[in-house]
Structure 1
Amino acid sequence: MLDIKVNSSLIPDELRVNVLPQFLGPHYLTGESMVNDWAARLCSSYEGGYWNFFTLSNGGFYMSPSNMGRVHVRWHMNGYSDMMGADAFGITVTLFALCHLAEHTLDDAIVGRYYQLREFAAHHVEAANILRAID
């Protein structure tokens, strides 16, 4: 079986307005709120800010904070505690938010978004950290 690499592309500012409705459908406001909530839960130094949006070549997407460098991420439910870059943090946060949103909405499309991002995360340069954080 071929292992096809999933690539990401930054969405330009002028196209941002439709990103969350496109990928989260009617749940886009709840989803955006969950991303911010999970960012604060996972990183005590998170204070909000501008997020970049990325599309994935497999049809998925994720969000990543644009104003952060490496951050300390901690999740007490699985004992994870380590440093990761802003992109990996954004992927991790988006995965947590998509999982939570899928549980909240029972929407198969949201479940699909989770697995599209999970596929990308598995080949990210910080895959080990991301996967340990969401385990």
Structure 2
Amino acid sequence: MTTEIQNRITSSIIPDELRLNVLPRYLGRHYLTGEGMVYDWAARLCSSYDGGSWHYFTLSNGGFYMGPANMGRVHVRWHLNGYNDMMGADAFGITVTLFALCHLAEKTQDDAIIERFHQLREFAAQHVEAANILRAID
């Protein structure tokens, strides 16, 4: 088995009946603030975003992310780094969660939140849309 396959990070969707404890588990006491930041970043990065339901995903490296449930490809624009392109809903969820985790880590200085960012960033680098995600967060 190659090292790349051995180090491959996988994601799994969390069933609806188990969602209640997801954000407190991954964000601790910052879970309400963190959830709000995800939705806020979605609106900042995608002008057509108008709410909706979200899926939660766990990562095999201990991380997590949120992704919109009812979106296809979306146009994402971030004026501070010049990013302006299309991406799929899963990549958009990863991007939005990375922005929110970065913002939350900066605000709280919480090592657990910083670790969540790095876990998701590691997964993002292996994603099929890695180039888009990494350009968007750069």
Q: TM-score range by the shorter chain?
A: over 0.9
Of residues 21, 24, 36, the one that matches 1:21 is 24
Corresponding position: 1:97 with 2:97: no
With normalisation by structure 2, the TM-score equals 0.96
Which letter does structure 1 place at the counterpart of 2:111?
D
Misfit runs of 4+, over 2 Å: none
**Could you state the TM-score of these two structures normalised by the residue count of structure 1?**
0.98
Pick the aligned partner of 2:114 from 111, 114, 135. Answer: 111
> Partners in 2 of 1:99 and 1:89 — Cα distance?
15
Q: How many residues align?
A: 135
SS in 2 for 1:104: helix
Q: What residue is the counterpart of 1:40 in the other structure?
A: 43
Mapped to 2, the partners of 1:50 and 1:104 lie a distance apart of 26
For residues 71 and 95 of structure 1, the distance between their equivalents in structure 2, rounded to whole angstroms, comes to: 17
Give 1:6 deviation, angstroms: 0.3
Do residues 86 (structure 1) and 100 (structure 2) align? no
Residue of structure 2 equivalent to 1:5? 8
Q: Which amino acid aligns with 1:94?
A: T
AA matched with 1:88: A
Query: Which whole-Å deviations, capped at 9, do the CAs of 1:16-36 have from their partners, x for residues lacking one?
Result: 000000000000000000000
The match for 1:60 is 63
Residue segments in structure 1 that go unaligned for 5+ positions in a row:
none
Unaligned residue ranges in structure 2 (runs of 5+)? none
